[in-house]
Structure 1
Amino acid sequence: MSSHVVFFLVPGVHLLDLAGPAQVFSTAADFGHPYTLSYVAEQPQVTSAQGLPLAAELDWPELGPEDLIVVPGWRALRLAHGPAIGATALRAFRDHHVRGGTVASVCAGADALGRAGLLDGRHCTTHHDVQDELALRHPKATVVRDVLFTTDDRVITSAGIASGIDLALHIVATRHGPAVAAQIARDMVVYARRNGHEPQTSAMLRHRSHLDDTVHRAQDLIDTRFDEALPLPALASAVGVSERTLTRLFSRATGLTPLRYQQTLRLERAEHLISHGTTIDAAARTVGFEDARMLRRLRARTS
């Protein structure tokens, strides 16, 4: 299903707040996940904080529940000194959320969502320099400090600047799976995608902080088929190297053998299933173990 991403631009918008998420969704479209991007403002041209003039549309497109509004941040020492945002735009934010859509912000953009009433009763975050002010301006919100992003009832806020990339990759991972998000991060040379509320725990992304294309291609195969038998000869053949070379490159890049990496993915998925009430035996079968003994041994090693 195609999704429309609308970026709402204000004077003084930070380029990376805008360009980071836009690049993520544009790359997702390149990989066959259809996203249409558009840019709306209250004047036909806005000048970014970095001095680049940006053209924008004045009319809001029709949006459905699968679509997304993103409000990038802007340059201002205080939120109170930020740009005025008219009633039409604030109503567009609210109406889209009421209709089941998702609304997101980067950095100071959280204040725009707050002005629309979308932070009331929800968790949110923003750049660390203005977290206290955001809490004062929107006392019904719960400001979560020192995290990259928060999600609460289709309202997603991120800390600022580069964290907009993390926010966008999170949205992609939620909609299309972590393997797609990892593929996009790799293409963007964003070597590790970070999580919002917690330290990076996803093995699928934690072991991507390297530059070896052969290993990345092997990981792509393992990520999408971790619950299947993947013999080393077949994996090496698929990426065009010998078994010995693949094992050497893989271990040097990730610290794991291909088999251990696959087992790590299986264990992580099994732990998620068990935490949601699945029995150990059922979880073991779901993630590809022939019986639960190997899963129990792996869990014992990490406990």
Structure 2
Amino acid sequence: MQAQAPLRIPVFVVVPPRALLLDLAGPMEVLRKTNLEQASVHFDVTYIGPSPDVASSIGLCLSGIAPLPARLPDDALVIISGAVDEPLGSAVREEAEDGPLEAAIVAWLRRGIRPGMRLATICSGALLAAQAGLLDGRECTTHHAAIAELKRLAPLAKLRENRLYVEDGDRLTSAGITSGIDLMLYIVAREVGHATALSVARYLVVYLRRGGSDPQLSPWLEGRNHIHPAIHRAQDLVAAEPARDWSVAQLASAAGASPRNLSRLFNEHAQMSVTEYVNRIRIALARELVTDSRLDMESVAERTGFSSARQFRRAWRRLHDTAPSQERLSTRKA
């Protein structure tokens, strides 16, 4: 049987003058590793900009940058990375040289980003999107050092400070630097799945946060701040299929441990029992269904591996102060 061709997502990364290298390298390493981890989705990355060569924030020259395309495909994901005032080892910023290049990016964004096309900004990349009018009326964020400038450039935007990243429809903005990695992991989780995002996060040795507004560790990575391979194998299986009827014996067999030893290892390294870990992952998935769908609670329970809505609500109450229905209502009001 012939393997199914992967879904290909065209990604266009806008490289500005004085590009902050970590804004580019961090998120793109997420996509590179994602392409290697699985075969169902492939991110086709193209670096574009008004100049074929730019000096990066650390003084390293970036070359081979393609011109800004005349037209983008409808399914494109456009990413605008940030810039720095003065690259490492450089002279004072060349305003006369960089100004026209930034203006070319803004003009291209204004005519090239069509309604429904996804746009993600990293760090001060939000300032270029703001100048193009692409953040008007949208919730957004940027690096804390650029907040005041973003307010000035986008007075109609709904600025959110002290956030890792913000999603408002087809606009995604991040605080930049390392939070660009958080944003890209979030996109990977949406497009490919949590199991792949978890694997990539672990490879990069970073925390995977559930949402930009949540300062706490994601339930998908909670209990994984360890390097024990047997537990990781069991946790990967649960993350890939949370609704499956996992028993300690099944997970122990897959992890290459006895049920008793796996239980001991979970308590020692994950700081929770196997059953508690499974329920936390199921509730994390259930919360997504509660807040992002109109499914009734019986359907949510069924899709997340609980035998009944009553069992689901009991497990929910152990982790949340409000009922699932209240969570759905408060999320929609926000």
TM-score, normalising length from structure 2?
0.82
Structure 2 CA distance for aligned equivalents of residues 294 and 269 of structure 1 = 15
| 1:6 aligned counterpart, secondary structure | strand
Asked if 1:243 corresponds to 2:251, the answer is: no
* Native 8 Å contact 2:26 2:178 kept in 1: yes
Matches within 5 A, 1:42-53: 42-53=50-61
Matches within 5 A, 1:1-303: 1-31=7-37, 32=39, 33-61=41-69, 63-76=72-85, 83-84=98-99, 85=101, 88-98=104-114, 100-193=116-209, 195-200=211-216, 202-274=218-290, 278-302=295-319, 303=321
* Native 8 Å contact 2:51 2:67 kept in 1: no
1:94–1:244 CA distance, 2 compared to 1 (3 A): farther
**Alpha-carbon deviation of 1:186?**
1.2
Structure 2 CA distance for aligned equivalents of residues 130 and 87 of structure 1 = 18
| 2:220 aligned counterpart, secondary structure | helix
1:229–1:122 CA distance, 2 compared to 1 (3 A): same
**Alpha-carbon deviation of 1:3?**
1.1
**Alpha-carbon deviation of 1:249?**
2.1
Structure 2 CA distance for aligned equivalents of residues 9 and 282 of structure 1 = 45
**Letter of the structure 1 residue corresponding to residue 15 of structure 2:** L
**Letter of the structure 1 residue corresponding to residue 73 of structure 2:** G
**Alpha-carbon deviation of 1:107?**
0.9
* Native 8 Å contact 2:22 2:178 kept in 1: yes
Residue 4 (structure 2) aligns with = none
1:111–1:186 CA distance, 2 compared to 1 (3 A): same
* Native 8 Å contact 1:41 1:56 kept in 2: no
**Letter of the structure 1 residue corresponding to residue 215 of structure 2:** P
Residue 326 (structure 2) aligns with = none
Q: How many residues align?
A: 300
1:110–1:249 CA distance, 2 compared to 1 (3 A): same
* Native 8 Å contact 2:53 2:62 kept in 1: yes
Structure 1 CA distance for aligned equivalents of residues 168 and 294 of structure 2 = 23
Identity of aligned residues (%): 35
| Runs of 5+ consecutive residues of structure 2 not aligned to the other structure | 1-6, 87-94, 322-334
